[in-house]
Structure 1
Amino acid sequence: MGQSKLLISVVAGAVVGAALSMLDRTTREKTIATTQKMKEAISYYAANRDELQVLVEEKVLAAKVLCESVSENVNTIAEKVDEFKELPSTIQEMINDTKSAFSLPHKE
């Protein structure tokens, strides 16, 4: 019971909020223009389903390429992090080598 009241209240609040926002002329005009563009796009793609399919396939391919690129970038960053983790031990070895080179007894 509590969930159905919550859902009804949320929907009612959204409807009231949308109605109040329509009192503003700029918002109303922009909403009408956007709705008209959406209506035209839906009508166009309803008549030209092949173009819609091609468009969707292009977007899916672009998303796949983006995912692969992000994956490669994450792997590269992970490799660099591993290299940086090894860096302190390398620096310590260099310091020890330098100390030993300067602390060797000099023969004259």
Structure 2
Amino acid sequence: MARSKLLVSIVVGATVGAALSMLDRTTREKTVATTKKMKETISYYAEHREELQEVIEQKVSTVKELVDNVTDNVNMITEKVDEFKELPSTIQGMIHDTKSAFAVPNEE
């Protein structure tokens, strides 16, 4: 039974593509600069774990606030949709009341 070569082909294609892109000088320079910056950042946070924890806590707090705001907005929109669902019956009742107020009584 033959094994699927999809994963191997994807890895080989990505490797060849990355190698070809490194032939461009600008790409090489940007890659080296980005790699150095990542290394510096990782080294810094490895030595200053408390600061990393604070940054993570701030990001988590920001995400929680965003989720709370989105939840509040969704709840408000749901309430408005419910109000709009009730609106046709309210309008229909007002029309009926208006008709009744202006209707001429039938004289027999």
Give the shorter-chain TM-score range: 0.7 to 0.9
Q: CA deviation at 1:103?
A: 1.3
**Alignment-derived partner of residue 25 in structure 1:** 25
Please report the TM-score for the alignment, with normalisation by the length of structure 1: 0.84
**Alignment-derived partner of residue 45 in structure 2:** 45
RMSD of aligned residue pairs (Cα, Å): 1.4
Separation (CA, whole Å) in 1 of partners of 2:61 and 2:32 = 33
Question: Which structure shows the bigger proportion of residues in helix conformation?
Answer: 1
The alignment-based identity, stated in percent, is 70
Query: Gapped runs of 5+ residues in structure 2?
Result: none
Pair 104,31 (structure 1): closer, same or farther in 2 beyond 3 Å = farther
Separation (CA, whole Å) in 2 of partners of 1:26 and 1:83 = 58
Matched, 1:94 2:94: yes
Q: CA deviation at 1:35?
A: 1.5
**One-letter identity of the residue aligned with 1:31:** T
Pairwise mapping of residues 69-108 of structure 1 onto structure 2 (< 5 A)? 69-105=69-105
Q: Which secondary structure does the structure 1 equivalent of 2:23 belong to?
A: coil
**Alignment-derived partner of residue 14 in structure 2:** 14
Separation (CA, whole Å) in 2 of partners of 1:104 and 1:23 = 91
Please report the TM-score for the alignment, with normalisation by the length of structure 2: 0.84
Q: CA deviation at 1:20?
A: 2.2
Query: Gapped runs of 5+ residues in structure 1?
Result: none
Separation (CA, whole Å) in 2 of partners of 1:29 and 1:104 = 89
Separation (CA, whole Å) in 1 of partners of 2:7 and 2:70 = 38
The C-alpha deviation readout for 1:46-67, integer Å capped at 9, x for no partner, is 1111111111111111111111
Pair 104,36 (structure 1): closer, same or farther in 2 beyond 3 Å = farther
Aligned length: 103
